[in-house]
Amino acid sequence: MTAPIFEAKQVSFSYEAIPALRDLSLSMEAGRSLALVGANGSGKSTLLRLLDALCFPSSGSISFSGNPLTPERLRADGYDLWFRRRVALLFQNPDVQLFNPTVFDEVAFGPLQLGWASTEVIARVNSMLETMDISHLRDRAPYRLSAGEKKRVALASVIVLDPEVLLLDEPTSMLDPRSQSQLIDLVQNWKGTSKTVITSTHQLEIVEDIAERVVVLEQGSVAADGTPSEILSNGELLLRANLVHAHRHKHGDMVHSHPHLHSHARHEH
Amino acid sequence: MRRHDTIAATLLSLTHAFGTALVSEQVARRPGLLQAFDPRVRVIGLFALVLAVILSHRISVIVALFVVAVLLAVLSQVNLKSLAIRVWLMVLLFTSVIALPSVFLTPGDPIVTFPAGALHITAQGVTTAVLLITRVETATPWMQILKALRAFRIPQEVVMMLAMTHRYIFLLAETAAQMFESRQSRTVGVIAHSAARHMTTRTGGVLLSKSVELSNDVFLAMQSRGFRGDAKTLSEFRMRSLDYIGLLSFLLVGVVAVWVGRA
Amino acid sequence: MHIPDGYLSPSTCAALYASAGVGWYAALRRVKCVFTTRLIPLISVFAAFSFVLMMFNLPLPGGTTGHAIGVTIASIILGPSGAILSISIAVAIQALFFGDGGITTLGANCFNMAIVGSLMAYVTYRLVAAGAAISSRRRVVAAAIAGYLAANTAAFVAAVEFGIQPLFFHNARGVPLYAPYPLSVAIPAMMIGHLAVAGIAEAVIAAGLVAYLQVADPLLLGNTSGLSDSATSTPVFVPQKSLRKLWLTVALLMLLTPLGILAGGTAWGEWSMSQVSAAADQKAIPTTSHDQAQPSSPPAGLQRLCSLWTAPIPNYAPEFVKSPRFGYLLSAMFGVGMLMAFSLVIQRILQRRRTAGQP
């Protein structure tokens, strides 16, 4: 059996005094796709940032392909650049990731920081803009983009390096339905390739499309780990993890209460 | 006494920022004369003209430069009417801020005296006008200003900070505007003075918290893409013959103006 | 308070650019040390925040409204070096992109608001809040006083820059070439507006934001608290004693500059060639020299020395340089800038010594 690409062992992390992750353990195989689900505050974003070595656990350990992710290890002989090329994180708020004056500069930022030659950078950026269908935005300033365009630019700036691992933090949030489905298509394309994809979301309806495995987080720890069908059919778990709400309505005199997965518009039972 | 609606005034300033940005971007994109030059040439030209105006002590020279500035404005397809309004407004505004009489009453060399006797257009007034016109018409797209600054050996961190600040001004202005708007929509009539003060400072506080959080997140995002402290950039412009001609013309005009205009 | 192009002479602009340049250089070195890789996003976002804050139309006690600069809260949170950079960037963007304020006067505007303003704010805040707990009311009051003083000091320096223009820079007929109002008009004109309105706005915002942070995010106030038990990293700024002396020296210097000019006449011994020959001064010189009569022709030695000084200066601005009053002003402005840079260097040395002494 191949070594897991990510191994998190009893990881705890707090923001100032507030605990975000408690004793979390998780193992991820390379080339798989995982959906990380949980309510807001369950620790999804924190976990992704830890996996991207942007912060470090206060106790426990995280390793990437056998290498422990610690500040010292990253500083040693350029390992951080090697790591940054291979692991990419898409932040939930695209504004945070669009800090360059133009779209072109933004997509070029990563390759430039990693020391690629100018000509190669220009070529790669142009092809990336083509692929993501945002060439017409190349000279646009980020504050003049729509939410969907921002997400596409952010995604482009992150996958331009052709990373092995993609960490996506609530990629469909703040998007209109069409942009959402476009993004889901993209993620689906990666499913089954050699890329490792970990997507965090609280939208249960997309989970089946984007992942083969689901991990449920509840208050900073793993509450469940299984296939999408296993997890999604466990109504009690979902209710407890605050991923669904109980919907009560009457049939005649009977009060009918059940966990509610789908939108209120289409309700069949 | 009519209460001054400060919230509305703040909203106006905030949205005005976007308006200014859009206008200057539009001017910069028009296919006029100045827009054709390399941005470094435009920046140098701007500086040269401004210096020339300041260093000239002869009224005739200043008036000549005024004509040059207006000509450039026309050739660069700047909207003359709005420009004229803005220029005079700016001059009047500034002098009123420091509690001085308007440009017409500025003590200085009168060029033209109106029959009424009390008003003369002074050299100072014309100078200010020229300077403002020059500033507007040589409006270079922000991106190119940044690249020009880099070419002038301004440290890379400083240029990056200018760029990033500019980019986030709009985000923070929008956030602030939304906070003010939502408060305003929940109130009937004008908010009382001291309540408005508390509201404004509180919005400032929330904006401050969001700014700090934003800066932390941006830092993480930068690190995530390999940033280690020294930002690397692509190599920049090359000068064409048109640019050299433009550069020489600007410098020539400047030098001649200064030389002829020396006291 | 943003001075547009054309109101300050090129020599004034150059002198202030030089002083500002020293301040920027020192601040940048310092901030790179303290904030390392965090520098760019931190200063940038803070500069953006200051910029937006400047747009707030703030209702003030008494019924007026005004605008703050934001330099005080920047100094309190980032320290003076961070504030110098943030406010300078905000001012630069206002000038370069939005057209507020001139580009030849960018150095002057940054010097007044970002450098003088932030040092004044920081020193005052530290002195008044000395030792108080982070959540104490004294810090709010300290912020208010710091804001008021900072805004008014910046305005005063700007007023001085304006007021000396007609004194030095006029054509042969005595008509002023740049800002036309003398100190006697410029100072009251600027100061009234700031003492009554803008200074209050700065005080209100500084106090309001400190009060807000005391509740919402007290750690942000820890950087400049001077308290050794604060949860953030070790305090990196100079202890109060040297600050006080420094503040007094700077204040004294700045006050002396306009007084020196207003006093009229020239400092004894600093006469230029033209003055030695000019009739009016010929009377003044003997009276200040204990009534010893002046030689009828300028001393040869003085003649030689004079030409030595003016020789390297290019032709386009000869009379400004020969005037001793200009030289006096230039050295005063440079002196202020130098002192400020010096203070930042001292801070760094002291900090290094302190961290070296710690295990």
- The residues pairing with A197 across neighbouring beta strands, listed in sequence order, are A33, A166
Q: Which residue has the higher pLDDT, A163 or A17?
A: A163
Between residues B151 and A226, the one the model is more confident about: A226
Residues B35 and B75 in one domain: yes
Mean pLDDT of A60-83: 89
Q: Which of A15, A48, A52, A99 to mutate: most B Cβ within 10 Å?
A: A99
Orientation of helix A147-159 relative to helix A118-131, angle to 10°: 140
The answer, for C219 touching chain B at a CB cutoff of 8 Å, is no
The reply to whether A178 falls in a domain is yes
pLDDT at C318: 36
pLDDT of residue C266: 39
Distance (Å, whole) CA A122 – CA A139: 14
Two structure tokens written together for C295: 């030689």
State if pTM tops 0.90.
no
Neighbours of chain C (3+ CB pairs under 8 A): B
Cβ distance of B155 and C65 shorter than 8 Å: no
Report whether pLDDT(B182) > 50.
Answer: yes
pLDDT higher than threshold 80 for residue A216: yes
Helix (H) / strand (E) element for A29: namely none
Alpha-carbon distance of C273 to C83, in angstroms, equals 44
Residues B175 and B128 reside in one and the same domain: no
Is the separation of the CB atoms in A169 and A183 below 8 Å? no
For chain C, the first-to-last Cα distance in angstroms comes to: 47
Report yes or no on B69 lying in a domain.
Answer: yes
CB within 8 Å: C46 and B215: yes
**What domain range includes position B85?**
31-140+237-260
In this complex, the residue of B142, B225, B231 whose CB is nearest that of residue A101 is B142
Strand, helix or coil at A102? coil
Instruction: Report whether CATH 1.10.1760.20 matches the domain C10-267+323-357.
Output: yes
Give the pLDDT of residue C245: 52
Each domain of chain C, given as residue ranges in start order, spans 10-267+323-357, 273-310
Residue B40 lies in a domain: yes
Q: Kind and range of the H or E element at A98?
A: none
Is the distance from CB of C33 to CB of B78 less than 8 angstroms? no
Residues in Cβ contact with A67 at an 8 Å cutoff, skipping those fewer than 6 apart: A73, A79
Q: In DSSP terms, which residues pair with B56 in a beta bridge?
A: none
Q: Do B125 and B67 lie in a common domain?
A: yes
Please list the pLDDT of chain C residue by residue as tens digits (359 residues).
Answer: 788 877 888 888 888 999 999 999 999 888 888 877 888 899 999 999 999 999 888 888 877 888 899 999 999 999 999 999 999 999 998 888 777 778 888 999 999 999 999 999 999 999 998 888 888 899 999 999 999 999 999 999 999 988 888 777 776 666 666 777 788 888 888 888 888 888 999 999 999 999 999 999 888 888 777 665 444 443 333 334 444 455 555 555 555 544 444 443 333 334 444 444 444 444 444 444 444 444 444 444 444 444 444 333 333 333 444 455 555 555 555 455 555 555 555 555 655 655 554 44
Q: Is the pLDDT of residue B19 over 90?
A: no
* Disruptive mutation site among C13, C49, C169 for chain B (greatest number of B CBs within 10 Å): C49
Torsion of CA A50, A53, A58, A61, to 10 degrees: 90
Flag whether pLDDT at A48 surpasses 50: yes
Q: In terms of pLDDT, which residue wins out, B3 or C80?
A: C80
B187 and B100 share one domain:
no
pLDDT at A98 over 90: yes
Which residues of B fall within a CB distance of 8 Å from A121? 234
Q: How far is CA C330 from CA B220, C168, C205, C246, in A?
A: 45, 12, 34, 20
**Where in the sequence is the domain holding A45, given as residue range(s)?**
6-260
Tell whether B253 is covered by a domain.
yes
pLDDT at B138: 56
Residue of chain B nearest C14, judged by CA positions: B51
Residue A93 reports pLDDT greater than 90: yes
Q: How does residue A220 score in pLDDT terms, banded at 50, 70 and 90?
A: confident
**How many other β-carbons are positioned within 10 Å of the β-carbon of residue B186?**
7
Do B126 and B243 lie in one domain? The reply is yes
Q: Do B135 and C205 touch (CB under 8 A)?
A: no
Query: In this predicted model, what pLDDT tens digit does every residue of A145-182 receive, in sequence order?
Result: 988 899 999 999 999 999 999 999 999 887 888 888 88
pLDDT in tens, B215-252: 999 999 999 998 887 777 776 555 666 667 777 777 77
A267 occurs within a structural domain: no
Q: CB burial class (10 A; 0-12, 13-18, 19+) of residue A76?
A: exposed
CATH of the domain at A186: 3.40.50.300
Instruction: State phi, psi for A14 to the nearest 5 degrees.
Output: -130, 145
Total of domains in chain A: 1
CA C352 from centre of chain: 26
Query: Residue C319: helix, strand or coil by DSSP?
Result: helix
CB atoms within 10 A of CB C330: 18
Number of domains in chain B: 2
Do residues B164 and B248 both lie within one domain?
Answer: no
Examine residue A40 and state whether it is found in any structural domain, yes or no: yes
Using a pLDDT cut of 70, give the percent of chain B over it: 53
